[in-house]
Amino acid sequence: MTPNPALQPSFTGDHRNPARASNARWKAGAAPSVVSLRQADSDANPKVHLDGISLSYKTNDGKRLLALDNIDLKVQPGEFLCIVGPSGCGKSTLLHLIAGLNQPTSGSVLMDNKPVTAPGTDRILIFQELGLFPWLKVGENVEFGMKMKGLSKAERRERVDYYLRLVHLSQFKDSYTHQLSGGMRQRVALARALATEPDVLLMDEPFAALDAQTRDLLHDELERLWAETGRTIIFVTHNVREAIRLGDRVALISFRPGKIKREYRVDLPRPRQLEDVSVALCAREILDDLRGEIDKSLREQYGDKEVHA
Amino acid sequence: MRKFARHAVFYAVLIGIWALLGALKIWPTYVFPTPKGVGEALYAGFQDHSFWIAIAVSMKRMLLGYSLSVVLGMVLGLGVASNKFLEETMGGLLVSLQSLPSICWLPLAVLWFGLTEKAILFVVVMGSLLSVTIAMEDGRKQMPKIHSMAGRNLGATGLKLFWYVLLPASLPFILNGLKQGWAFAWRSLISGEMIFVSLGLGQQLMMGRDLNDMNLVIAVMLLIIAIGYIVDGLVFRTAERSLQRRWGLEPAS
Domain shared by B203 and B151, yes or no: no
Look at residue A6 in the predicted model and tell me its pLDDT: 63
Are A241 and A235 spatial neighbours (Cβ–Cβ below 8 Å)? Answer: no
> Interface pTM (ipTM) of the complex?
0.73
Percent of chain B with pLDDT over 90: 21
Interface test with B, best of A142, A148, A180 (most B CBs within 10 A): A148
Are A120 and A100 spatial neighbours (Cβ–Cβ below 8 Å)? Answer: yes
Domain shared by B179 and B126, yes or no: yes
* Kind and range of the H or E run holding B158: helix B158-161
User: What is the pLDDT confidence band of residue A236, given thresholds at 50, 70 and 90?
Assistant: very high
**Domain membership flag for residue B223:** yes
The CATH fold assigned to A1-10+33-122+228-304 is: Rossmann fold (3.40.50)
More confident residue, A256 or A193: A193
Residue range A95-115: mean pLDDT, rounded: 85
With 0-12 / 13-18 / 19 or more C-beta atoms within 10 angstroms meaning exposed / middle / buried, residue A42 is: exposed
DSSP bridge partners of B60: none
Domain shared by B117 and B183, yes or no: yes
CB contact (8 A) between residue B153 and residue A101: yes
Q: How far is A160 from chain B (nearest CA, A)?
A: 15
**Domain membership flag for residue B114:** yes
> How many angstroms separate the CA atoms of B86 and B228, rounded?
34
Q: Which residues does B122 contact at the CB level (< 8 Å), separation at least 6?
A: B105, B109, B112, B113
Phi, psi for B192 (deg, rounded to 5): -60, -45
Output the CA–CA distances (angstroms, integers) from residue A22 to A5, A18, A38, A222, A244, in the order listed. 18, 9, 7, 16, 15
Domain shared by B128 and B165, yes or no: yes
Domain shared by B142 and B83, yes or no: yes
Output the CA–CA distances (angstroms, integers) from residue A46 to A118, A127, A170, B153, B222, in the order listed. 19, 24, 35, 22, 74
Average per-residue pLDDT for chain B:
87
User: What is the pLDDT confidence band of residue A31, given thresholds at 50, 70 and 90?
Assistant: very low
> How many angstroms separate the CA atoms of A263 and A283, rounded?
13
Residue range A169-198: mean pLDDT, rounded: 87
User: What is the pLDDT confidence band of residue B122, given thresholds at 50, 70 and 90?
Assistant: very high
Residue range B236-246: mean pLDDT, rounded: 84
Domain that holds residue B228: 199-232
User: What is the pLDDT confidence band of residue A3, given thresholds at 50, 70 and 90?
Assistant: low
User: What is the pLDDT confidence band of residue A38, given thresholds at 50, 70 and 90?
Assistant: very low
Domain shared by B87 and B164, yes or no: yes
**pLDDT beyond 90 at A19:** no
Look at residue B67 in the predicted model and tell me its pLDDT: 93
Domain shared by B75 and B182, yes or no: yes
Residues of B in contact with A149 (CB under 8 A): 155
Output the CA–CA distances (angstroms, integers) from residue B141 to A75, A132, B39, B84, B137, in the order listed. 37, 19, 49, 12, 6
Does A175 reach chain B within 8 Å, measured CB to CB?
Answer: no
Look at residue A9 in the predicted model and tell me its pLDDT: 61
Nearest to A149 among B153, B155, B164 (CB): B155
Percent of chain A with pLDDT over 70: 83
Look at residue B56 in the predicted model and tell me its pLDDT: 92
Domain shared by B105 and B147, yes or no: yes
Q: How far is B149 from chain A (nearest CA, A)?
A: 7
CB contact (8 A) between residue B154 and residue A192: yes
Look at residue A233 in the predicted model and tell me its pLDDT: 92
Look at residue B148 in the predicted model and tell me its pLDDT: 87
Q: Is the dihedral of CA A29, A30, A31, A32 positive or negative?
A: negative
**Domain membership flag for residue B39:** no
Q: Name, of A147-151, A162-166, A273-277, B184-188, the range with top average pLDDT.
A: B184-188
CB contact (8 A) between residue B248 and residue A176: yes
Residues of B in contact with A144 (CB under 8 A): 151, 154, 156, 164
Q: How far is B163 from chain A (nearest CA, A)?
A: 11
Residue range A280-304: mean pLDDT, rounded: 76
End-to-end CA distance of chain B: give it in Å, rounded: 18
- C-alpha neighbours within 13 Å on the C-beta side of residue A309: 7
CB contact (8 A) between residue A149 and residue B160: no
Size of interface A-B (CB pairs under 8 A): 64
Domain shared by B87 and B170, yes or no: yes
Does A148 reach chain B within 8 Å, measured CB to CB?
Answer: yes
Look at residue B253 in the predicted model and tell me its pLDDT: 41
**pLDDT beyond 60 at A218:** yes
Look at residue A305 in the predicted model and tell me its pLDDT: 53
Look at residue A44 in the predicted model and tell me its pLDDT: 65
Residues of A in contact with B150 (CB under 8 A): 127, 131-133
**Domain membership flag for residue B22:** no
List, by residue range, all CATH 3.40.50.300 domains of chain A. Answer: 1-10+33-122+228-304
Domain shared by B146 and B161, yes or no: yes
Name the A residues in 52-111 with CB < 8 Å from any B CB. Answer: 99, 101
| Least confident interval from A8-12, B43-47, B97-101 | A8-12
| Least confident interval from A251-255, B16-20, B244-248 | B244-248
Domain shared by B69 and B186, yes or no: yes
User: What is the pLDDT confidence band of residue A304, given thresholds at 50, 70 and 90?
Assistant: low
Domain holding B188: CATH number?
Answer: 1.10.3720.10
CA-based nearest residue to B167, from B98, B81, B92, B241: B81
Does A192 reach chain B within 8 Å, measured CB to CB?
Answer: yes
Q: Which residues does A225 contact at the CB level (< 8 Å), separation at least 6?
A: A166, A167, A190, A194, A231
Residues of B in contact with A133 (CB under 8 A): 147, 150, 165, 168-169
Domain shared by B143 and B220, yes or no: no
**pLDDT beyond 90 at A118:** no
Q: Name, of A110-114, A225-229, B81-85, B130-134, the range with top average pLDDT.
A: B130-134
Looking at the structure of chain B, the number of domains it has is 2
